[in-house]
Chains A and B, each alone.
Chain A
Amino acid sequence: MVSHSRTPLRAHQLRSLNQPRPVTVRCDQKGFPLALWQRGAFCRIRQIKDRWRLDDEWWRRPICRLYYLVELEDGTVETIYCDLMIKKWYRQRESMRTYGGQRVR
């Protein structure tokens, strides 16, 4: 058995990276994103390039997210997700290819 090193964990010194940031999204009736609020105005979404779902931690505080990889009108590509538990939108850097979420048809 490995003995306890007695070094304090200092968890308060940890700053999580890639935290999701809230974003305002205009959606259609089916819940698909249409426009994204950025720099003081809504920017239309030209194309939804990819969509996947992430479900995890059902045993404690369930995480249920629907990610969208969208191409905006100005040509930029963003990853946004809808937290299905609280129905709020967030922006976060992520790729389905990297961590294999479940593709949604």
Chain B
Amino acid sequence: MRFSYTPFKTQTPVISLGGRSSRPRPVVCVGVVGPVNANPVDAVIDSGSDETLFDESVALSIGIDLTNAPACPCGSILDQIVTARFANVTLRMTDGIEFREWPAWVGFVPNLRRSVLGFGGFQQFFTTTLYGDDEIVELVVNRLYPGI
């Protein structure tokens, strides 16, 4: 699967990018499927993230009860710590040409700004190539990929 980076407009020229007026980010849409519903959610592919994370309201919407879910502290590079609660879901992704669906353990945290596709649940199953020159991300299933 191949996806173009999404350009996000900036208020001021981006110094590090030669003064361009947008920042490209590898944001893709992933379907989060639970026992009663599915939520298609935009998420950023982040090679520095340990886990795949969604907002807690997604869990509620797809029918997952997090009351007794396994939990662990989740920190960011800005030193904020929140509790992530984990559940097994099905993730679904397409670029309109290739269709992929696989089971994954993902974390749910409160008040998440943007969902994150990290190593656990996502990058462990794909060879992820980020083409900085063409601003394209390429995802190829690897030998651990457990889906269809």
Asked if A and B are interacting partners, one says no
Q: Which residues of B contact A (CB under 8 A)?
A: none
Q: Which residues of A contact B (CB under 8 A)?
A: none
